[in-house]
Amino acid sequence: MTPTPVHVPVALERSLELLAPALSVEGAVLVDATLGLGGHAEAALERHPGLTLVGLDRDSDAIERAGERLARFGARVHRVHTVYSGLRTALDALGIDSVTAVLFDLGVSSMQLDQAERGFAYAQDAPLDMRMDRTSGPTAAAVLAEYSEAELRRIFYQYGEEKLAARFARRIVESRQEQPLERSSQLVELIAAATPRAVQRAGHPAKRVFQALRIEVNGELAALEAALPAALDSLAVKGRIVVLAYQSLEDRIVKRELAARTSSTAPAGLPVELPEHRAEFRLLVRGAELASDAERASNPRSIPVRLRAAERVRGAA
Ligand SMILES: C[S@@+](CC[C@H](N)C(=O)[O-])C[C@H]1O[C@@H](n2cnc3c(N)ncnc32)[C@H](O)[C@@H]1O
């Protein structure tokens, strides 16, 4: 099999198909809340000549790289270095009241994974950094050095769904008394040594711990919990949102928020639904959609993706 270029955007055609009616209206504005390398953004701008893009990313490298890629679209592109929970503030600063489309393509970018020195990949030895925004916040090494055993156990269990959370947390606390854990290879070795032979599990033994540290270091779940309502509130009527999630914790947050916004708020037992109780949104796909078989075969990064989408059907009450 020929290797896949790492920069192929996931679910590109499906996302743009779902967003299309909201990208082609007069005055269309797309918020790409996770601009990354600008793959989705570039395709949307190319296909919809009247579209304005507001691209957010907390990683200044991504903002810069996407800027080069999207330079030819000139004033149609606004890039903002921010956590996506700052979406409303970013729109206010641009004088934009409402938008017609929002896209979230969650998680780390292929660029972040490829930059070994950022410490996201357990397969490459690097300092344990893992910050998407290298200008602020504690690194993974600081979390490993400073959190109590109970806190480490909790994050491995909750954010990594790691069954051996207690065991790994204990080993880390023992080991850091000898020497600090500063590099990914040290952490990978510790986890491998602490994993009982009999425990056969899918994937790399360090996969879940790395995921948990990344989520903790970047406050990923809290940012998403704040950003989704802000994004939905900013959508005009007929505005559309597509969210691509790659792990179950994020997908659960998306599912819950969309379920709440697409349900009637009428009290149980009311014989007729009043207009103000009607849901503000409708789902555009049933449940979570997976990538097509063809995409899964050609782009392994698409294998875990869960796509959810909704459309605003009426204004806020
Ligand atoms: C999967 S990549 C997006 C790739 C992009 N769709 C493309 O086609 O090139 C996710 C991007 O979201 C950014 N990101 C993740 N969490 C974020 C957050 N809470 N706020 C802002 N950006 C975030 C990451 O820095 C990364 O660049």
Compute the distance between CA of residue 53 and CA of residue 35 in angstroms, rounded to an integer: 10
Q: What are phi and psi of 281, to 5 degrees?
A: -130, 160
pLDDT, mean of residues 28-33: 98
Question: Which amino acid residue places its CA nearest to atom 27 of ligand 1?
Answer: 36
Atom of ligand 1 nearest to the CA of 41: 8
Q: Provide mean pLDDT across the span 125-139.
A: 93
pLDDT at 118 over 80: yes
State the pLDDT confidence band at 95, using cuts at 50, 70 and 90: very high
Distance 219 CA to ligand 1 centre (A): 14
**d(Cα 239, Cα 27) in Å, to the nearest integer?**
12
**Confidence band for 199, pLDDT divided at 50, 70 and 90:** confident
Among protein residues, the one with the nearest Cα to ligand 1's atom 15 is: 107
The best mutation among 14, 46, 57 to test binding of ligand 1, ranked by most ligand atoms within 8 Å of the C-beta, falls on 57
pLDDT of the residue at 265: 83
pLDDT of residue 32: 98
Whether ligand 1 lies within 6 angstroms of the CB of 299 is answered as no
- Name the residue among 58, 50, 203 with its Cα closest to residue 134: 58
Cβ 39 under 6 angstroms from ligand 1: yes
Cβ distance 190 to 171 under 8 Å? yes
User: What's the pLDDT band for 200 if we cut at 50, 70, 90?
Assistant: low
Atom of ligand 1 nearest to the CA of 109: 2
| Cβ neighbours, 10 Å, residue 61 | 17
Ligand 1 atom, smallest distance to 7 CA: 9
Residue 1 has what pLDDT? 39
Atom 16 of ligand 1, residue of closest alpha carbon: 107
Question: What value does the mean pLDDT take over residues 159-171?
Answer: 96
From the CB of 55, is ligand 1 less than 6 Å away? no
Name the nearest CA neighbour of 55 among 71, 11, 17. Answer: 71
Token pair 């050609």: residue: 298
Task: Spell out the alpha helix ranges (H) of 132-183.
Answer: 140-146, 149-160, 165-178
Residue pair 95/29 in contact by the 8 Å Cβ criterion: no
CA distances from 218 to 195, 305, 311 (A): 26, 20, 29
pLDDT of residue 4: 41
Query: Cα torsion for 13, 83, 85, 9, to the nearest 10°?
Result: 10
pLDDT band at 149 (very low <50, low <70, confident <90, very high): very high
Centroid of ligand 1 to alpha carbon of 35 (angstroms) = 6
Atom 7 of ligand 1, residue of closest alpha carbon: 39
Top pLDDT among 309 and 273 is at 309
pLDDT at residue 267 greater than cutoff 90: no
**What's the pLDDT at 237?**
98
Q: How confident is the model at residue 148 (pLDDT cuts 50, 70, 90)?
A: very high
The Cα–Cα gap between 92 and 95 comes to 5
Measured CA to CA, the distance from residue 105 to residue 297 in angstroms comes to 20
Q: Give yes or no for residue 105 CB within 6 A of ligand 1.
A: yes
Q: How far is the CA of 152 from the centre of ligand 1 (A)?
A: 25
109: exposed, middle or buried (Cβ count in 10 Å: 0-12, 13-18, 19+):
buried
The pTM of the whole model exceeds 0.85: yes
